[in-house]
Amino acid sequence: MKIGFIGLGRMGRGVCDNLIKHGHDMAVFDISPQAMEHFRGRAALCAAPTEVFTRSEVTLLSLPSSIQVEQMCEGFFACGAAGKLVIDLSTSYPLSTKKLHARFKQLGGALLDAPLMGNPETAADGTLTVTVGGDKEVFDRAAPVFAAFTSSADYIGEAGSGHLVKLALNFTGLMYAVTYSQMFPLMEKLGLDTQKLFQIICGQKTNCGVFQFYGQKVRDRDYRLDFALQFGLKDLGYVKRLYEDLNCPAFALDGALDLLRTGMKDGRGGHDFSEAAAVMRDYLGL
């Protein structure tokens, strides 16, 4: 198939590599010339997103937020969307996704939301998982595309459903991480051996995969970059907007957002999400 890819960052690069390996005719664009150079000789390097879109049957987006996705799609609408399929791999705002889906359909095109679940390593291996929202017949037609870079692509339901699942997972996992970021510095300040505390928690029902990942990072002050704080704030901000749209208070979420905004103010936005613990350690004088 003629496939376009826009957004060749840490995740998009691996996805695009696998689409090329599966024999698809690729056109790519990224605002970073360096990211584009990786694909020289293997894909058409386009000068603008609209060039990717007009050349391709299917265009995949891997972008930072709904702001960029909406801007990109406005350019696509101006080119004419009839017969075109766009797959949004970003973690986008579900209600924005619903509106874009309706607009594409009105113009004779189609949109699927299929946020990526995994990391740059699974992206490179072609073993990402996706949950997909949109029209079922469009999902079925896109099966060869998903097969190139995922180990599992599950159809969830109507437009926005894939993004809702991704936010549900991130809401749960990131709120756990915020809890560890507050709990460990407090125990450390009070003189508790946090290495022993970690081992005790490992034997309790509170142990889980998120604890093993973020708990260790917070305990050891190992703030290696896996998922940026600014993206976590964006995702939890989307959840807050969903509550607001339903005129419902977000309760515990508000405190987490305040902590992350403090991290942003301190210049930690591009650092790992676990640096929320560093914010708490600063407050506690550690």
pLDDT at 139: 98
Position 4 confidence tier, pLDDT thresholds 50, 70, 90: very high
pLDDT at 97: 98
Same domain membership, residue 129 and residue 74: yes
pLDDT at 224: 96
Position 123 confidence tier, pLDDT thresholds 50, 70, 90: very high
Same domain membership, residue 208 and residue 112: no
pLDDT at 217: 98
Question: What is the arithmetic mean of pLDDT over 98-122?
Answer: 97
Same domain membership, residue 172 and residue 148: no
pLDDT at 159: 98
132, 158, 184: which is the final residue of a domain? 158
Instruction: Write out pLDDT tens, residues 65-92.
Output: 999 999 999 999 999 999 999 999 999 9
CATH number for position 169: 1.10.1040.10
Same domain membership, residue 153 and residue 229: no
Same domain membership, residue 257 and residue 121: no
pLDDT at 178: 98
pLDDT at 40: 97
The Cα 166–Cα 131 span in angstroms is: 8
CATH number for position 37: 3.40.50.720
What does the chain look like in DSSP terms, one character per residue?
-EEEEE--STTHHHHHHHHHHTT-EEEEE-S-HHHHHTTBTTBEE-SSHHHHHHH-SEEEE--SSHHHHHHHHHHHHHH--TT-EEEE-S---HHHHHHHHHHHHHTT-EEEE--EES-HHHHHHT-EEEEEES-HHHHHHTHHHHHTTEEEEEEEESTTHHHHHHHHHHHHHHHHHHHHHHHHHHHHHTT--HHHHHHHHHTSTT--HHIIIIIHHHHHT----SSBHHHHHHHHHHHHHHHHHTT---THHHHHHHHHHHHHHTT-TTSBGGGHHHHHHHHHT-
Same domain membership, residue 23 and residue 119: yes
Instruction: Write out pLDDT tens, residues 230-280.
Output: 999 999 999 999 999 999 999 999 999 999 999 999 999 999 999 999 999
What is the residue-averaged pLDDT of the chain? Answer: 98
Q: Which domain holds residue 211?
A: 164-284
The Cα 112–Cα 89 span in angstroms is: 9
Same domain membership, residue 46 and residue 170: no
Looking at the structure of the chain, the number of domains it has is: 2
Instruction: Write out pLDDT tens, residues 173-219.
Output: 999 999 999 999 999 999 999 999 999 999 999 999 999 999 999 99
